[in-house]
């Protein structure tokens, strides 16, 4: 009789631990989904000593750095001198994945 009580206690402890692990896993998965959505919108400024991460707005691949005002392309990461870049090399508007 006494042994089976001890067994029950151990068993219920194990269940608690498993539930905690499951909750942790779910919240971790959610974070990584949000993280990858942000990563698909962010491109680092190509200017030396800047490196600020700027966010793509809507579908526009023409990024202007918040810190140094450098214009650059979200797709290829090169600096721009105007919209003609998007006539030649890259498409200006693409949806965020």
Pair of tokens at residue 94: 């693409």
DSSP 39-74: HTTEEE--STTT--EEEPPTTB-EEE-TTT--EEET
Q: Smallest distance from the beta carbon of 45 to Zn ion, in angstroms?
A: 3
Closest CB to Zn ion among residues 16, 88: 88
> Is residue 73 a contact point for Zn ion (CB under 5 A)?
yes
Q: Smallest distance from the beta carbon of 78 to Zn ion, in angstroms?
A: 6
* Position among 41, 44, 47, 53 found at the interface with Zn ion (CB under 5 A): 47
Rounded CA separation 64/66 (Å) = 6
Rounded CA separation 60/91 (Å) = 9
Closest CB to Zn ion among residues 13, 87: 87
> Is residue 50 a contact point for Zn ion (CB under 5 A)?
yes
* Position among 26, 34, 68, 83 found at the interface with Zn ion (CB under 5 A): 68
């Amino acid at each position: 009789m006494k042994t089976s009580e001890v067994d029950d206690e151990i068993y219920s402890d194990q269940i608690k631990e498993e539930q905690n692990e499951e909750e942790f896993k779910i919240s971790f998965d959610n974070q990584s989904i949000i993280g990858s959505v942000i990563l698909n919108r962010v491109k680092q400024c190509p200017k030396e000593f800047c490196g600020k991460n700027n966010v793509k707005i809507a579908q526009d691949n023409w990024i202007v750095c918040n810190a140094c005002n450098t214009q650059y392309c979200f797709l290829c990461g090169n600096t721009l001198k105007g919209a003609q870049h998007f006539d030649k090399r890259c498409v200006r508007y693409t949806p965020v994945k």
